[in-house]
């Protein structure tokens, strides 16, 4: 079925994007799997979310394919931890991915799909959809703005590690592109808020409409 193919393609694209997100983290410095998962939620995870249950298996797969290498390192007590570093092959594939313009995917937007059929919703339920949309994106803006500020003043720990491993001549461009990515996230969130605010206006406009909720025609 064509639908099954789309689902498979989405899964493959998701796995590959997670792979490059992990490689991106490791281009700064070697990290344990625990530290990768921890930093993933405070840096690259803002643009590509993945739970721990996906990160750990992907790291093992990448090790098998030679994109990363792991070294046993001492940890607390008698325990050891595996520290991952990117290999030359991992760097090569990461560069290839960065230089590839990529392919844009067709939209699968639950919120726009729901919005297109809000005439079926109770006015209060429709308002709640829009209000939650606004609240979520306002929280995202606050979070992203804080990270962006930490990037610009160089207090972000992940950025600090990357700068330490880079030549001073590269620092300005590294910071500029990181801030640029967060600018895009913040601008998109503001657009989402403006869209939802217009949605609230529509809900209010039609709330007093006596027209009943649509029903399916019966044969």
Q: How many helices (H) and strands (E) does the chain have?
A: 8, 3
The pLDDT assigned to 13 comes to 56
Helix (H, G, I), strand (E, B) or coil at 84: strand
Kindly state the tokens that stand for 32. Answer: 């344990």
Euclidean distance between CA atoms 141 and 82, whole angstroms: 35
pLDDT tops 70 at residue 150:
yes
What's the predicted TM-score (pTM) here? Answer: 0.80
Residues 82 and 73: beta-carbon distance below 8 Å: yes
Residue 216 placed within a domain: no
Task: Assess whether 8 and 39 both reside in one domain.
Answer: yes
Confidence of residue 184 (pLDDT cuts 50, 70, 90): very high
Number of domains in the chain: 2
Residue 121 placed within a domain: yes
Residue 171 placed within a domain: yes
Task: Assess whether 129 and 190 both reside in one domain.
Answer: yes
Task: Assess whether 133 and 194 both reside in one domain.
Answer: yes
Residue 217 placed within a domain: no
Q: Which domain holds residue 126?
A: 110-207
Euclidean distance between CA atoms 63 and 47, whole angstroms: 23
Kindly state the tokens that stand for 86. Answer: 């990117």
Kindly state the tokens that stand for 5. Answer: 């193919």
Residue 56 placed within a domain: yes
Task: Assess whether 11 and 92 both reside in one domain.
Answer: yes
pLDDT in tens, 83-103: 999 999 999 999 999 999 888
pLDDT tops 80 at residue 4:
no
End-of-domain residue from the set 52, 73, 98: 98
Q: Which residue has the higher pLDDT, 79 or 214?
A: 79
The pLDDT assigned to 39 comes to 83
Residue 74 placed within a domain: yes
Burial of 205 (0-12, 13-18, 19+ CB in 10 A): exposed
Task: Assess whether 25 and 82 both reside in one domain.
Answer: yes
Residue 77 backbone dihedrals phi, psi, to 5 degrees: 60, -135
End-of-domain residue from the set 45, 64, 98: 98
Closest CA to 46 of 149, 181, 203: 181
Instruction: Write out the DSSP string of 10-43.
Output: HHHHHHHHHHHHHHHHHTT--EEHHHHHHHHTTT
Residue 139 placed within a domain: yes
Region 136-147: mean pLDDT is 96
Residue 214 placed within a domain: no
CA distances from 60 to 57, 65, 68 (A): 5, 9, 9
Question: What CATH number does the domain containing 48 carry?
Answer: 1.10.10.10
Measured between its terminal Cα atoms, the distance across the chain in Å is: 30
Greatest Cα pair distance in the chain: 74
Task: Assess whether 140 and 183 both reside in one domain.
Answer: yes
End-of-domain residue from the set 42, 67, 98: 98
pLDDT in tens, 58-74: 999 999 999 999 998 88
Confidence of residue 209 (pLDDT cuts 50, 70, 90): low
Task: Assess whether 33 and 6 both reside in one domain.
Answer: yes
Confidence of residue 207 (pLDDT cuts 50, 70, 90): confident
Euclidean distance between CA atoms 174 and 2, whole angstroms: 41
Task: Assess whether 144 and 94 both reside in one domain.
Answer: no
Helix, strand, coil percentages for the chain (3-state, nearest 5): 70, 5, 25
pLDDT tops 60 at residue 6:
no
Confidence of residue 129 (pLDDT cuts 50, 70, 90): very high
pLDDT in tens, 27-40: 989 999 889 988 88
């Amino acid at each position: 079925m064509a639908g099954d193919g789309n689902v498979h393609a989405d899964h493959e694209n998701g796995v590959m994007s997670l792979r490059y997100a992990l490689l991106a983290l490791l281009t700064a410095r070697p990290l344990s799997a625990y530290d990768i998962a921890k930093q993933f939620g405070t840096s690259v995870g803002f643009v590509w979310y993945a739970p721990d249950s996906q990160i750990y298996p992907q790291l093992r797969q990448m090790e098998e394919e030679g994109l990363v290498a792991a070294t046993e390192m001492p940890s607390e007590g008698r325990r050891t931890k595996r520290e991952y570093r990117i290999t030359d092959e991992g760097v090569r594939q990461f560069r290839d991915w960065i230089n590839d313009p990529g392919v844009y995917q067709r939209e699968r937007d639950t919120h726009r799909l729901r919005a297109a059929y809000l005439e079926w919703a109770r006015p209060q339920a429709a308002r709640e959809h829009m209000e939650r949309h606004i609240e979520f994106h306002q929280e995202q803006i606050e979070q992203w703005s804080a990270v962006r500020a930490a990037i610009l003043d160089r207090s972000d720990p992940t950025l600090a590690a990357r700068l330490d491993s880079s030549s001073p001549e590269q620092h300005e461009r590294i910071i500029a592109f990181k801030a640029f990515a967060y600018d895009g996230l913040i601008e998109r969130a503001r657009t989402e808020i403006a869209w939802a605010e217009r949605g609230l206006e529509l809900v209010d406009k039609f709330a007093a409409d006596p027209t009943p909720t649509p029903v399916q025609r019966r044969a």
